[in-house]
Amino acid sequence: MAGYKFGNKANFGENTTLSGSFQYVLGSGNSNSADYTAVGGLSNTVTSTGEESLVWGSGSQVSGSNNLVVGGSHVIENACDFNIVGGTTCSGTGGGFDGNLMCGGNLKSTNRYNLTVGTNNINDTDNNGLGGHIVGGKANTLSGSNYGLMIGSGNTGPTDYHNGIQMGQEGVVQNNKYGAISTSAGKFAAVGDAQLTTHLVYRGQTTNNTATVIYNQANSAAKWLLAANDSVIVKATVIGRKAGDAGQSAAYEVIAAFKNQGGTSTIGTTGVTKRVLNEDTGTTNYDATLAVNNTDDTFELKVTGDTGHNVNWMAHVEVMVLNVA
């Protein structure tokens, strides 16, 4: 319908359809069925559930409420609310896409409170309804994580990756890691076959003088997997401090090489190189070392305290991985 009407509707354009209240349409071929909305451009569709939205551009379909959508060919599904989307061919799906900012081309996000920019990125993050991710660059995929950052190109995230950062080109984050920072600069054959993971924080407590394995996030499920055909160098800087007035502490740097060949994981031929950085009086039994667990195909960081004392331990762990099939 060409021309215009005033009142609780305003229509400036042609071939438009209005079927709600307090609507404003400018352009051609637009369909607006939601209340309190404004639509401008060419061939946009706002369904009845897209109330209180502003849509400007061409070919977008909006069914979520309280959205600002500009550009072309975007799809915002029902129950995907309070988002800002710009660029072209971006989609918010899954009914939990709320409070997002997307800007770029061919982007996808399926969870809440995410920032997705660039081109061909997928921010497909669904972990008990949590989100809070940032994905930027080109052709990155972050899935199933919470509170992460991925920037660069061709990177891949796992189903459980928490509070971490993946940077560079064609890297892959190992599953179930916390607060990790990983970098890569391309691949030989497969994504993640040449990369460095830094700033893994391990922590744990000992109560005796028995060697005890400590883990990333103090979580035994966060072991580092030695995958088939991996060659790995691990460097750990470790510090332990006893609770109490004396506060004795000790610090070590341990380095070792590992590999997995044919499903069998081994430690390097030279074993563990250890450097003692500090050992206070009263820390005679304290120690730190690296070992291989061939049952789980993992490396282990082991620390030793003293009998009858609570000693808190933490470590900065770096892992360099080369995978050759």
* Contacting residues for 257 by C-beta, under 8 A, at least 6 apart: 231, 232, 233, 234, 267, 268, 270
Residues 49 and 175 occupy one common structural domain: yes
Residues 19 and 161 occupy one common structural domain: yes
Residues 82 and 46 occupy one common structural domain: yes
Residues 148 and 274 occupy one common structural domain: no
Say what the pLDDT of residue 126 is.
Answer: 58
Choose the weakest-confidence range: 43-57, 135-149, 213-227. Answer: 135-149
Higher pLDDT, 286 or 1: 286
Asked, for residue 133, whether it belongs to a domain, the answer is yes
Asked, for residue 2, whether it belongs to a domain, the answer is no
Largest CA distance in the chain: 90
Entry field: residues in the chain: 325
Residues 161 and 283 occupy one common structural domain: no
Say what the pLDDT of residue 216 is.
Answer: 95
Q: Would strands 115-119 and 134-138 be described as parallel, antiparallel, or unpaired?
A: parallel
Asked, for residue 1, whether it belongs to a domain, the answer is no
**Given pLDDT bands bounded at 50, 70 and 90, which one contains residue 163?**
confident
Residues 17 and 149 occupy one common structural domain: yes
**Given pLDDT bands bounded at 50, 70 and 90, which one contains residue 205?**
very high
Residues 207 and 109 occupy one common structural domain: no
pLDDT tens digits, one per residue of 45-88: 999 999 999 999 999 999 999 999 999 999 999 989 999 999 99
Task: Point out which residues pair with 69 in neighbouring strands.
Answer: 55, 85
Highest mean pLDDT of the ranges 16-25, 32-41, 124-133 = 32-41
Residues 184 and 234 occupy one common structural domain: no
**261: its two tokens:** 């060949």
Which residue from 221, 227, 243, 240 is spatially nearest to 190, judged by alpha carbons?
Answer: 227
**50: its two tokens:** 């897209």
Say what the pLDDT of residue 1 is.
Answer: 46
Q: Would strands 37-42 and 54-58 be described as parallel, antiparallel, or unpaired?
A: parallel
- 100 contacts 117 by C-beta, under 8 angstroms: no
Q: Name the average pLDDT for the chain.
A: 91
Say what the pLDDT of residue 70 is.
Answer: 97
**20: its two tokens:** 């709600």
Out of 192, 208, 238, a domain closes at 192
Residues 281 and 302 occupy one common structural domain: yes
* Contacting residues for 242 by C-beta, under 8 A, at least 6 apart: 248, 249, 282, 283, 305, 306, 309, 310, 311
Q: Which domain holds residue 308?
A: 197-323
Residues 162 and 47 occupy one common structural domain: yes
Asked, for residue 3, whether it belongs to a domain, the answer is no
0.85 exceeded by pTM? yes
> Which domain CATH number covers 313?
2.60.40
Asked, for residue 171, whether it belongs to a domain, the answer is yes
| Span 39-49, average pLDDT | 97
DSSP 220: G
Asked, for residue 99, whether it belongs to a domain, the answer is yes
Amino acid at 212: T
Residues 115 and 247 occupy one common structural domain: no
Sign of CA dihedral 129, 199, 261, 291: negative
- Give the separation between CA 322 and CA 247, rounded to whole angstroms: 40
> Which domain CATH number covers 75?
2.150.10.10
Out of 144, 166, 192, a domain closes at 192
Helix (H) or strand (E) segment spanning residue 116: strand 115-119
pLDDT tens digits, one per residue of 91-117: 988 767 889 999 999 999 888 889 999
Task: Point out which residues pair with 224 in neighbouring strands.
Answer: 299
Asked, for residue 319, whether it belongs to a domain, the answer is yes
Higher pLDDT, 71 or 123: 71
* Contacting residues for 202 by C-beta, under 8 A, at least 6 apart: 214, 215, 216, 218, 236, 301, 313, 314, 315, 317
Out of 176, 192, 208, a domain closes at 192
Say what the pLDDT of residue 162 is.
Answer: 82
Residues 151 and 57 occupy one common structural domain: yes
- Give the separation between CA 230 and CA 317, rounded to whole angstroms: 17
Asked, for residue 258, whether it belongs to a domain, the answer is yes
Total domains present in the chain: 2
Higher pLDDT, 3 or 170: 170
